[in-house]
Amino acid sequence: MIVKTTLRSILLVSMLHFGISHAFAETVVVVSAKSPAGALTADQVSDIFLGKSSALPGGGQAVPIDQADGPVRDDFYHKATGKTGAQVKAYWSKQIFSGKGQPPKEVGDSAAVKTLVASNPNMIGYIDKGALDSSVKQVLSLK
């Protein structure tokens, strides 16, 4: 009985810690440090990631890069588009089925997105703010 109570307590504390740390996480939208793009609005970012726009302000084709399913991706779509992960998947299923578009290329995590985006001034992605460095330029903060 003590073991079950202890395990439940550990699980509850872990869940609370994840929820609290995730609630204060900040996701930032980034482009290559070499990109001419400047600050973007959430609406502009939403349009790019939902395939409604294919251009970066300041010139250049916008090539959006998605992260794999997880808390950063969920946070990004919730704050930038107002959609849940399930709603985004449903949206892209409909777009693909109707021949209207393809979802952004998906890579692993913030480090993978940052590496890819840094290498191409047309790419745009989102990362956890803690991964931000001089190889990429922040164009939007999603708090």
Three-state secondary structure readout of the chain: CHHHHHHHHHHHHHHHHHHHHHHCCCEEEEEECCCCCCCCCHHHHHHHHCCCCCECCCCCECEEEEECCCHHHHHHHHHHHCCCHHHHHHHHHHHHHCCCCCCCEEECCHHHHHHHHHCCCCEEEEEEHHHCCCCEEEEEEEC
Please give the pLDDT value at position 117: 96
Model pLDDT, residue 3: 47
User: pTM value?
Assistant: 0.81
Residue 22 pLDDT greater than 50, yes or no: no
Confidence (pLDDT) at 1? 57
Q: What is the pLDDT of residue 15?
A: 41
Chain-wide mean pLDDT for the chain? 86
State yes or no: pLDDT of 21 exceeds 60.
no
When mean pLDDT is compared across 41-50, 52-61, 76-85, the lowest value belongs to 52-61
pLDDT value at 25 more than 60: yes
